[in-house]
Amino acid sequence: MLQIRPTCENCKKRLPYDSDEAMICTFECTFCKDCVELLHHICPNCGGGFEKRPIRPETLLHKYPVSTKVIHKPVDFKAHYTKFKIK
């Protein structure tokens, strides 16, 4: 079951359960589309790619609530670009 995290890990932009801007990697690291572009679609935590996070149907929110835990780990973009050889 996906956690459906509430914010972008980098910029803390709100990403509600029905957001079209939420992107996740295979470990559910969650970023907004703008930050994913800056990251060149490479997760700074695992090095994997990103995909659009599915939208949980509103009818299932009571039975399967979304996460309220905010994870905020601002990215050091210079280190990210160096690590993944991004120019």
| Token digits of residue 38 | 């800056």
Residue 10 domain flag? no
| Token digits of residue 72 | 């905020």
Residue 28 domain flag? yes
Task: Check residue 87 and give its pLDDT.
Answer: 84
Residue 5 domain flag? no
Residue 2 domain flag? no
Q: 55 near 61, Cβ under 8 Å? A: no
The pLDDT tens digits of the residues spanning 59-74 come to 999 999 999 999 999 9
Residue 43 domain flag? yes
Residue 54 domain flag? yes
Q: Give percent of the chain with pLDDT exceeding 90.
A: 99
**Parent domain of 63:** 22-83
One-letter-per-residue 3-state SS of the chain: CCCCCCECCCCCCECCCCCCCEEECCCCCEEEHHHHHHCCCCCCCCCCCCEECCCCCHHHCCCCCCCCCCCCCCCCHHHHHHHCCCC
- In the chain, the number of structural domains is 1
